[in-house]
Structure 1
Amino acid sequence: MSETLLKRGDSSDDVRTVQERLTEIGYSAGGSDGDYGRKTEEAVQAFQAAYGLPITGSIDNDTWGALFSTPAEDPTAHDPSEAPTGDALVDIALKQVNDRYDFGTDADENNPNEDTFDCAELISWSCAQLGIELPSYSVSQMDAVAAAGLECSVEEASGIRGALLFREAGHNGSQYNHVALSVGSGNETIEAMGTAYGVAVGTIGHRFTRAGLIPGITYS
């Protein structure tokens, strides 16, 4: 097992260096104060999810090496001339980690630097960056998936990078519908969670009731 070097609760110059590097490559850690708090942990989780590393939120040897390596080609960069894929969709959404949540907001799909979302707007905005139109409401997104015959089980979606996960209102006492993107790792999501967390990496668990694939997205 790779040794843990830095984790939530730590404070050091090394933490500041990690925060600066995460921000440099597109994963906002909420600043570079040298304190390893929740936002830094979320940014590390998003980076790990993008690079296919175990999603721990802590910096181990493997994460440190990936973070500070300079590969000839960024594995999260995607050619806009290529067909839109689930991989590209997830990588776009992951780079919105720690963006602000605003229920009912209307994200500007023409703004590549949009920083305020609710759950469905994060999905529709990310799709728009790949040239895919998807409704801006979770219920309408669910309907679009069903109409295209692309529903699947939550279990199947958990292993498909870029699949949609839906929670219907009333499930586990929830008041509203909710939607998230599967990271494809088996139990992780990227989603606009709420005002307390903003856009964050979450877990699937027993939170979702339906799932499916987005029309127009190619899945591997």
Structure 2
Amino acid sequence: MSGQVYLRQGNSGQHVQQVQHRLQELGFNPGGTDGLYGAKTVEAVQAFQATYQIHISGHVDEATWGMLFSSHEGHNIAADDPSDVPTADRFVELCLHQVNDRYVLGTQADHNNPDEDEFDCAELISWACARLGVEFPSYSVSQIDASHHAGLGLSVSDAAHVRGALLFRRAGHNGSQYNHVAISLGTGEETIEAMDRRHGVAVGHIGHRFTDGGYIPGIRYH
């Protein structure tokens, strides 16, 4: 249990604004610092919780508040790790810091831009890989092929429990028209993904949306 809930969606006031400012300082976009706990603030809190492997609720509970304002919080693995090793943790953190960025189907993300803010599902992954010095294709079908041709395929149930593993939805699954790819947060339930125009980059749920999974060649998994 994460303890008492201090703040949740629908709240407003000074303490909400304090949380929003802190999230912004740590690189999570709460959609403004207006003191209104709306959907974008929920998503930023979810991304923060996922980064620090706190229960993902979107509420500011005791554990989340403590991590936000503790003296040792704010270490950015992706930016500060001196080993420069492309690990799954660094990959996931890069993606989580893009929550609330825009979804643009077919966009070509600038892999040299650390502040890129437009992605589709595959570009989020190829951009984050490039930021870690790992080459990975920019199209979802090519990402599926690259993972499986390297012998790194996984079942959905296995990928769901591996932080930084990919989850693939092949076109036709549940009536879908397009391939889609998301990143597992390793909890068995949640993803980080460039979802669609309405949600943008967001924390999502695995459910029955995916057909298979895989590791990324060149990323170190624990």
TM over 0.5: yes
* Conserved 8 A contact 1:51-1:76: no
For residues 37-56 of structure 1, what are the structure 2 equivalents within 5 Å?
A: 37-56=38-57
Aligned residue among 126, 129, 142 for 1:127:
129
Supply the AA of the counterpart residue of 1:112.
P
1:139-188 alpha-carbon deviations (Å, 9 max, x no partner): 00000001100001111111111000001111112111100000111111
Distance in 1 of aligned mates of 2:116 and 2:27 = 13
Q: How far apart are 1:73 and its partner, in Å? A: 7.2
1:201-220 correspondence runs (5 A): 201-220=203-222
Residue 66 (structure 2) aligns with: 65
In the comparison of the two structures, how many residue pairs are matched? 220
TM-score by length of 1: 0.97
Aligned-pair distance for 1:48?
Answer: 0.2
1:92 matched to which residue of 2? 94
Q: 1:64 to 1:172 in 2, by over 3 A?
A: same
Question: 2:114 matched to which residue of 1?
Answer: 112
Structure 2: 5+ residue stretches without partners: none
Q: Indicate the percent of aligned positions where both proteins have the same amino acid.
A: 61
Asked if structure 2 preserves the Cα contact closer than 8 Å seen for 1:127 and 1:134, the reply is yes
Equivalent position to 2:192, from 183, 190, 193? 190
Q: In the alignment, is the contact (CA less than 8 A) between 1:100 and 1:199 conserved in 2? A: yes
Q: Tell me the residue number matched to 1:4.
A: 5
Note closer, same or farther for the CA distance 1:70–1:76 as it changes in structure 2 (3 Å cut). farther
Q: Does the aligned pair in 2 maintain the 1:187–1:203 contact within 8 Å?
A: yes
Cα deviation 1:76-135 (Å, max 9, x = unaligned):
344254321111100000000000110000000000110110000000000001000100
| Mapped partners of 1:137, 1:81: distance in 2 | 29
Shift of 1:74: 1.2
Aligned residues of 1:50 and 1:76 also touching (Cα < 8 A): no
Partner Cα distance (2:73, 2:198) in 1: 37
Q: Is the 8 A contact 1:16 1:34 kept in 2?
A: yes
Give the secondary structure class of the aligned counterpart of 1:185. Answer: coil
Give SS of 2:77's match: coil
Contact 2:67/2:73 (8 A) holds in 1: no
Q: Is residue 181 of structure 1 aligned with residue 173 of structure 2?
A: no
Of stretches 71-80 and 34-43 in structure 1, the one that deviates more from structure 2 is 71-80
Residues 72 and 175 of structure 1: is their aligned pair in 2 closer, same or farther, counting only changes over 3 Å? closer
SS in 2 for 1:199: strand
Measured in 1, the distance between the counterparts of 2:185 and 2:56 equals 10
The letter for the 1-side match of 2:193 is: E
Would you say the 8 A contact 1:51–1:75 is kept in 2? no
Aligned to 2:202: 200
The yes-or-no answer on 1:24 pairing with 2:38 is no
Using the size of structure 2 for normalisation, the TM-score is: 0.96
Distance 1:4 1:57, change over 3 A: same
Contact 1:181 1:190 in 2 (8 A): yes
Which stretch has the larger CA shift, 91-100 or 65-74?
65-74
Aligned to 1:79: 81
